[in-house]
Amino acid sequence: MDIVKVNIKTAGYMANKPIIKNVALNIGYGELIGLIGPNGAGKSTIIKAIMGLLPENDSIVEFGGSYKNYSYIPEQPVLYEGLTLWEHLEFAASVYEIDQLEFLNKTEGLLKLFRLTHVRHNMPTTFSKGMQQKVMLILGFLLSPSLYIIDEPFIGLDPIGIKDFLSLIQQARNQGTGVLMSTHSLDTAEKICTSFVLINDGTILAKGNLQEIREQSQLINGSLFDCFIELLEKTL
């Protein structure tokens, strides 16, 4: 059984102007699906369609456990003016109804992992871009859902932040959590993803594991980057 089956017939922002057409993908337990594609291809729009956040959306999104149980980590930090990092965490915990002991354990571990313990009483609106990205990751990882939806996590994170993020993802996957992650970091994606969905102009250009992507691009030993370029150049 999959965690979620997604079938987007059409989706977009305005009536009769679909941005996404015929995108189907499934995410299974423990899988990490890389959603890749050029700027403006429609990755974020697919994510919004899955979450039901688009005004125009002819999609079927079926969660295996029958209820929506996911955590979304956006590309652009969403932070509240006037709240400290700790207050952001407490606010999230009350919205998610996380048990106090679990909250304290988790936040301690996450703050330490991302090296933000010393600034927990400061305002994240004054943090650097990478520190703000880490705050969004901590907020996302406070929950233990069956699916993480992560929009471009790598931009702005330093190498240690990337390593720490990857270890969290790996731990979650070991427990069966699925991940859908959009990214332009193809070298990292190639190493960590179980399969890929390559989007171009709102539709699927190629899909499958690295071997299948190689076959579809006819680059038998190609890197994900080479296959991506090859497949895209064929569309020009």
User: What x-and-dash track marks residues 3-32 binding ligand ATP by CB under 6 A?
Assistant: ----------x-----x-------------
Contacts 24+ apart (CB under 8 A), 228-232: 228/36, 228/186, 228/198, 231/198, 231/200, 231/205, 231/206, 232/38, 232/200, 232/205
Binding mask 191-230 vs ligand ATP (x if CB under 6 A, - otherwise)?
----------------------------------------
Q: Any contact of residue 41 with ligand ATP (CB under 6 A)?
A: yes
Residue from 15, 16, 39, 233 in contact with ligand ATP (CB under 6 A): 39
- Give 39 or 235: the residue with its C-beta nearer to ligand ATP: 39
DSSP string, 104-163: HHHHHHHHHHTT-GGGTTS-GGGS-HHHHHHHHHHHHHTS--SEEEEE--STT--HHHHH
Instruction: State yes or no: residue 124 binds ligand ATP (CB under 6 A).
Output: no
43 contacts ligand ATP (rule: CB under 6 A): yes
- Figure out which of the listed residues 40, 55, 109, 176 binds ligand ATP, where binding follows CB under 6 A: 40
Buried b (16+ CB within 10 A) or exposed e, 112-147: ebbebeebbeebbeebeeebbbbbbbbbbbbbebbb
- Tell me the site size for ligand ATP, rule CB under 6 A: 10
Residue 65 interacts with ligand ATP (CB under 6 A)?
A: no
Binding region for ligand ATP (CB under 6 A): 13, 19, 37, 39-45
